[in-house]
Chains A and B, each alone.
Chain A
Amino acid sequence: MLERLLILSAVLFCIGLYGALSRRHVIAVLICVEIMFNAVNIALVAFSRYITPAALRATGEVNEAAVRSLLAGQTFALFVIVVAAAEVALGLALVIAMVRGKDTTDISEASLMRR
């Protein structure tokens, strides 16, 4: 199950990467980055659910550290979702500012900071 979940995560990540690199529209690039975030979350949750906790392997008994590591991935994924939500809000605000200022949504036009 773990390998399957990781391969699913890798496939999603690479689809997102391809989209983010190949699209011209700013919002399309943002959407593809969201897909990559989701892929990472699947990998995080899969690892914490299926990898034997180090505390369990060392002592052979279920202690608090083992329990914590089984849920650590889910907690991390929660933080990733928070950061992704903040990123979308800011990214879309930037898109709107870009449309107002330059009247374009083409990402290759956003070259203001290029020398």
Chain B
Amino acid sequence: MDNLFQEIAFWLLAAVTVGGALGVVRTQRLFRAALMLVVSFAGVAGIFALINAEFLAVVQVLIYGGGVAVLVIFAVMVTSDVAEGNRNTRTQPFALLAAAALLVTFVFAIVQAEWDVLPNDLPAPLAGVFVDTPAAIGGLLLNEYVLPFEIAGIVLLAAVVGALALVRER
């Protein structure tokens, strides 16, 4: 029963995610592409929640579904008066060919490889890891990964200052 639910949830979320992404690539109107992007982000958040990454699911909705989507839609509106449509480049057939070739390679490699996987329902001591993931990730960020954590803060600060410097009216 639980497995059936997971099965259905996975296929639904995968369809939403891939459908949203295809919508982004297919549509000619940029504003619609930004909205389809939000759909795709929501699907990815659901996938995260499905595989024991609840904290990431929340972060995904907050940062991608909230911050990034608002930024993109804002930028589309600011630049819309010069938007000469969302045409394709001359290299479009080659892009399709390259992406398809890469996809075939990926799928072949994934199916061929012998993965040493854990079962879907984890044995008792391992299942305890995923009981309180936000606290566990917080502990990892402040112990094991404290240097990357601090550098991430500096990167964000530099990005904000850089963005302000770029768009400043002279």
Contacts and interface: CB of A to CB of B under 8 A. Distances in A.
A110 interface: no
Contacts, number: 243
Contacts of B2: none
Given A24-B88, A28-B33, A18 B162 contact: no
A93 B106 CA distance: 34
Interface string A56-77: 1100001000111011101101
Nearest to A73: B53
B166 A31 contact: no
Given A62-B126, A71-B133, A18 B99 contact: yes
Given A24-B86, A35-B21, A96-B79, A51 B48 contact: no
A32 B25 CA distance: 8
Task: Point out which of A3, A15, A68, A70 has the most chain B C-beta atoms below 10 A from its C-beta.
Answer: A15
Given A23-B89, A74-B133, A105-B84, A15 B21 contact: yes
Given A17-B99, A62-B126, A85-B67, A38 B40 contact: yes
Interface residues of B, number: 85
Interface SS of B by simple majority = helix
Contact of A99 (B74, B79, B94, B148): B79
Contact of B71 (A5, A14, A71, A89): A89
Contacts of A30: 72
Given A4-B14, A5-B47, A92-B75, 20 more contacts: A4-B10, A6-B106, A8-B17, A10-B103, A10-B106, A14-B102, A15-B25, A18-B25, A23-B89, A28-B33, A38-B41, A42-B44, A81-B59, A85-B159, A88-B67, A88-B68, A88-B72, A104-B82, A104-B84, A107-B89
Interface of B: 10, 14, 17-18, 21-22, 24-25, 30, 33-34, 37, 40-41, 44, 47-48, 51-53, 55-56, 59-60, 63-64, 67-68, 71-72, 74-76, 78-79, 82-89, 91-92, 94-96, 98-100, 102-103, 106-107, 110-111, 115-118, 120, 125-126, 129-130, 133, 136-137, 140-141, 144-145, 148, 152, 155-156, 158-160, 162-164, 166-167
